[in-house]
Amino acid sequence: FPVTIFAEFMQQTGWQSTDFCCWFEPDEVSGQRLILLSTLRNVPQNWNFSQAYFKPKNIYHLDQLVLTETGKVNRKLSYEMLNL
């Protein structure tokens, strides 16, 4: 499931895997809602996902995402940098 969402984001935006990540926030109705964290500002306004629930409910911009030792995005720590 998350890999599919990630692949669709990459396909629709042309972004690199270290430019963004998908994560979640608590939601009172559904339990969780999908969000997008991105270092880029050119976020598309018209999404064409294969599933409606792939569309992020919130989009946050960070100057930099936290990377692991192997160069992958650490989604949890990147989200925590928002200080919401």
CA–CA dist 36, 30 (Å, integer): 17
Reading across the β-sheet that carries 31-38, which strands appear in turn?
20-27, 31-38, 58-61
Radius of gyration over every alpha carbon of the chain, rounded to an integer in angstroms: 12
Average pLDDT over residues 57-62: 94
- Tens-digit pLDDT profile for residues 25-50: 999 999 999 999 999 988 887 888 88
pTM attached to this predicted model: 0.87
